[in-house]
A and B are shown apart, each in its own frame.
Chain A
């Protein structure tokens, strides 16, 4: 009964590179959420996806950030041309349906040098 899986757990990138973060939801969950936690802050909602659809991306920065949840495979959060301010912990959560409890993965800690 695997929980939400995220990889990599740690990712180091230089400024200007791309970062790809992966999230596999719990079995039976078709709703995926991405959150970002900056140092000493709470989690901030970024985007909510269902299979092949972005439902709410109101928390996503307008540029350089994108997310997808294809029919097959994990959800991907992609950050292009990373900057130092992108350094944070990125958490993915999944839920069985709308309004259901969200269960979190262990997070990916991104460090931009």
Chain B
């Protein structure tokens, strides 16, 4: 059962523009959401998170938006840089429960 879905397997963006990565979830018990970035041959690296009590969390060029009614979250990267090219995974879990579910990932390519 795919409780966390990333429907776009890939995204290509020009350097300096905004990258928007989307994620949908089905389990209303999910309370805590994370984005991880993964380079080839490396493990996922934690990027940013948001709990369900918020609808936005910002960290430098990265902002995560959460729309609980739509069960949707998105990651905005602005301005995008070539070094941001990686696979981005969305993850969700019920808070204080470690059963984290991952989406299939979106491969972002930022062109110089």
Contacts and interface: CB of A to CB of B under 8 A. Distances in A.
B70 to A, nearest CB: 21
A99 interface: yes
- Among A55, A56, A99, the one with the most B-chain Cβ atoms within 10 Å of its Cβ is A99
B42 A106 contact: yes
A80 B100 CA distance: 26
B98 A106 contact: no
Name, among A43, A93, A98, A99, the residue most crowded by chain B CB atoms within 10 Å (CB to CB): A43
A14 interface: no
A45 B101 contact: yes
B104 A42 contact: yes
Consensus secondary structure, chain A interface? strand
A104 B98 contact: no
A33 interface: yes
Interface string B68-105: 00000000000000000000010000011111111111
Contacts of A44: 102
Contact of B103 (A42, A48, A91, A103): A42
Contacts of A56: 98-99
A55 B102 contact: no
Contacts of B97: 99
A21 interface: no
Nearest to A104: B43
Given A31-B98, A58-B99, A102 B46 contact: yes
B34 interface: yes
Contact of A43 (B46, B49, B95, B102): B102
A42 B41 contact: no
Contact of A101 (B34, B96, B101): B34
A105 B102 contact: no
Given A56-B99, A91-B44, A99-B96, A104 B32 contact: no
Interface of B: 4, 6, 32, 34, 36, 41-46, 49, 89, 95-105
Interface of A: 4, 6, 31, 33, 35, 40-45, 48, 55-56, 58, 91, 93, 95, 98-99, 101-107
